[in-house]
Every structure is written in structure tokens, then in C-alpha cells.
Amino acid sequence: MKKNNHLVRMISQPTQLDYAFADSPFGRILLAATSMGLCAITMVNDEAEALTNLAERFPGSSLQEDAINLPKLAAQLFDRTSGALAVSVVTVGTPVTSTPIEEPLVLHLKGTPFQLKVWEALLSIPLGETRSYNWVAREIGQPGANRAVGTAVGANPVFYVVPCHRVIRSDGSLGQYYWGQAVKASILDWEQRAI
């Protein structure tokens, strides 16, 4: 069953971020959330370095470890029995009453309006399918903006949940991926086996 989730643009710097490290089928990850919703998921090679990078992305925000909610969310994200995540969009200013692990899942993302449009388009790509950068550009009403779309795809702050791994080149090759082509291929294979 699909879950209805929300993407909300981060307007101001959060004062506090909850974070947790967890395991995924593709390696160790770091999750972070504001009081409004999930704001970051990154792959991790070194936990101290990952926390430093998170603090640099959100200067002035205090970091607090969450040993319960975010690890539970990580388990839910990669649970094949729960179905694929689907994220819908709400406009800024719409009251959001959920926490990061309740339904609907809120993505509270820092990005430009263009980036948010691209990430919204990525959320519409079904589990087990791929689309081209050109498709994304057309989907957001800016055909020919493939390069800008590629840059926005690469800036995705929420590993796996916003499925930038489902965007490939028009010739069918995987193309670039922030976490490396081997990880991208592994995720796509894992999703294919999940459907």
C-alpha cells in the first residue's frame, strides 16, 4: 500500500535537528529531522565526518541524537513488506501535524523552488521504474533544462526517499550518482526484486 507523505520547503534555519545512524540494505546511513519532518538522509563512511557535514549544512542548529524514532523510521523505509513510499506535495503554510515517523511522512527540505520542482517530479517515478533527465525536465515544464535538472537531482538531500537513483540517461546507461554507480545499480536491483 502506498503511503501519502508531504514535501514542505524549509524557509528558515531549524534551531534543532534530531539525528540517528542506521543500517540500510546499501550501507550505513545518517538520518536527520526537524520538528516538522525528515530533512536529510545521507550515506555514511565515517560517522564523525557525517555529523560534521550535517552541522555545516544546518549552521546554528543544535544536534540531538534520537535513538528511538529515527532508527524506527529507517527500518520502515527499507521494509519490503510495507510497500513503497509515495510523497505528495503540500504548499508552505499548510498545517502539518505529523512527526517524522507518523503518517503522513513529512519531508522538510532546504532547496530552491527549481530543486523542489525536480524532487517533486522524482517522487512520481514508480518503484522499479526509471526515467531520463529529459523526462524530468519535460515533467517540470522546462524541456531542454537537462543539465539544470541533473544538478538538482545531484543535490537531493534525502537519499533513497526522494528517488534520484531512478533517473538515468536517455541512452539507458546509469549516468552519474552522488553515492557512486555501484550503489545506484544496487538500489535499482533491490527495488526490481521488491516488486
- pLDDT of the residue at 91: 29
**Residues recognised as catalytic:** 164
Half-sphere exposure of 154 (CA within 13 A, CB side): 12
Q: Over the stretch 127-137, which tens digit does the pLDDT of each residue have?
A: 999 999 999 99
> Residue 89: which of 123, 140, 40, 139 has the closest Cα?
123
> Residue 146: which of 110, 111, 170 has the closest Cα?
170
pLDDT for 64 beyond 50 = yes
Q: Which carries the bigger pLDDT value, residue 194 or residue 32?
A: 32
